[in-house]
Structure 1
């Protein structure tokens, strides 16, 4: 298993144990920053192939704008990505995640902190991609359209303030589940802590409306490529009963790509007849 690699925006590789963030960095003390993450896979020639670099830089830029952070140095992040991929041992770890991080910098003032971190894709993500996930439904405490109208709640930003998302996943694990789908107070399905929900109903692929939900690059792939495979993907207001009564369902994310939902709060879901087609579409 490869050890994590750290790159700065000048393209230099730094020992991951070497401190590059100050103790008073606002990304550390307040979670005041943004990140994005993309999958890197070993190509047939043994090199690394980064998935959707520009789309992830676009989303990092949008997140930074929502938090009123400096615009990310796109060329610098590209240099960091190239350096990480060139240094990575793809024989030891054929799949990895690169996280692009940008914080507001030291509380006492100074430049923003920016770096890229590469680490092997976790074994659990690979297992969930192959075998599916058992999910539980948890309340999120606010409706998507309400959040969309409140910019101070950072709708659509992939911020470093991920403690609630991680707490939800720990709660799920402690109760025998693999992952979570959030539900709004109005009873509508939203998203997972690190994923987007898609359900199949009668051959149609449906996903929750995007109000207050982080835009999913994997979902964008699916929506772009589905028509040529004879599939339809649509946004729709979905309830827990829609999920429990679905012909199949999946969680989409940049690392796992596609994980079939096997059950919802112990209620078994069927495997969709479209599962293999979606796996081919998303190059799972």
Structure 2
């Protein structure tokens, strides 16, 4: 199937049991099989990255590959062959049916328990239509994450700041948001510090200053956030990684959630209260950063 065009989502395996270059053939997702004893399946013992692809262009691929290695090191996983992951991702995107936006997932697992051989695969998925969220905004609730803002320093074994496959808590938070008639979540610490979303970073504007929570607060350093900061700097704005209280969200001139899928989504409602949405400025950021 490699080199062809598929009307369905695709998978390429990386590492064990693949070709000399560490990359397997392109497979339809319905034909791809992961061993049921793989620790990614039985324990969520692995790491992953989600990468946006626009008109065939990978968004921040080097940053995602670097973060995959960083997350793997935090879990004491075998180091992923990021060159093989990149080859597999490009191969699968080239074989996928053309679409304006695709989502690529890189998954790196500890493998089958006791084998001492990691496993990995790449998924290429049809992208979700996020146009409404980007233009009109999303409704968000704040939820207590259940620990202090300094947990990454006090309890590093809790793996805050690693992008792990253990997403049950994040999914539970999104279900709670839906129960509260909201689209997404911003986590806050028990000592009243803004953290991140289940799958996103937070961007806050006050005047010409744009801030995001510091990555040493036990949150995942954002690839989309880093790209947006570069755009903001080029536009002449001041940017900063900071410690922010939830009360500062309510007084902001704008709040956005940044992620590889939605890219930039303004928050139009926070805990039931309206926030200002600058649709024109959001479009500028999307165009200047991602060519959308």
TM-score, normalising length from structure 2? 0.89
Contact 1:6/1:84, CA 8 A, preserved across alignment = yes
Unaligned runs of 5+ in 1: 43-47
> Structure 1 residue 215 and structure 2 residue 221: aligned?
yes
Q: What is the match of residue 140 of structure 2?
A: 135
Q: What is the match of residue 52 of structure 2?
A: 39
CA RMSD of aligned residues (A): 1.7
Number of aligned residues:
276
Unaligned runs of 5+ in 2: 1-5, 15-22
Q: What is the match of residue 169 of structure 2?
A: 164
Contact 2:231/2:285, CA 8 A, preserved across alignment = no
Name the stretch that deviates more: 224-233 or 171-180.
Answer: 224-233
Instruction: Give deviations 1:8-47, integer Å, cap 9, x for gaps.
Output: 23141123123532111111111100000111111xxxxx
Q: How does 1:103-142 map to 2 (within 5 A)?
A: 103-123=109-129, 125-142=130-147
| 3-state SS, counterpart of residue 71 of structure 1 | coil
Contact 2:74/2:162, CA 8 A, preserved across alignment = yes
Contact 1:11/1:83, CA 8 A, preserved across alignment = no
Q: What is the match of residue 15 of structure 1?
A: 28
Q: CA deviation at 1:180?
A: 0.3
CA distance in 2, matches of 1:186, 1:134: 24
Instruction: Give deviations 1:108-138, integer Å, cap 9, x for gaps.
Output: 4242110000101123x34312321100000
4+ residue runs over 6 A deviation: none
> Structure 1 residue 85 and structure 2 residue 87: aligned?
no
TM-score, normalising length from structure 1? 0.92
Q: CA deviation at 1:165?
A: 0.6
Q: What is the match of residue 68 of structure 1?
A: 76
